[in-house]
Structure 1
Amino acid sequence: MKVGMVASHYPHAAHREEFISRVHQVREAFLRTPGCLSADCWVSADAVISVVQWESEEASAASFAAVQTAGLDLAYDEREIRPREIVRLAAC
Structure 2
Amino acid sequence: MRGAKSNGYGMFILFLLTGAVFGGILGEVISHSDIAAGFAPYLVKTFLVLDVPPVTINLYVIRFMAGFALQPNLISILGMVVAFLLYRRL
Higher relative contact order (CA 8 A, sep 6+): 1
TM-score of the aligned structures, taking structure 1 as reference length: 0.33
Q: Which has the higher strand share?
A: 1
Q: Which has the higher helix share?
A: 2
Tell me which structure has the larger Cα radius of gyration.
Answer: 2
TM-score of the aligned structures, taking structure 2 as reference length: 0.33
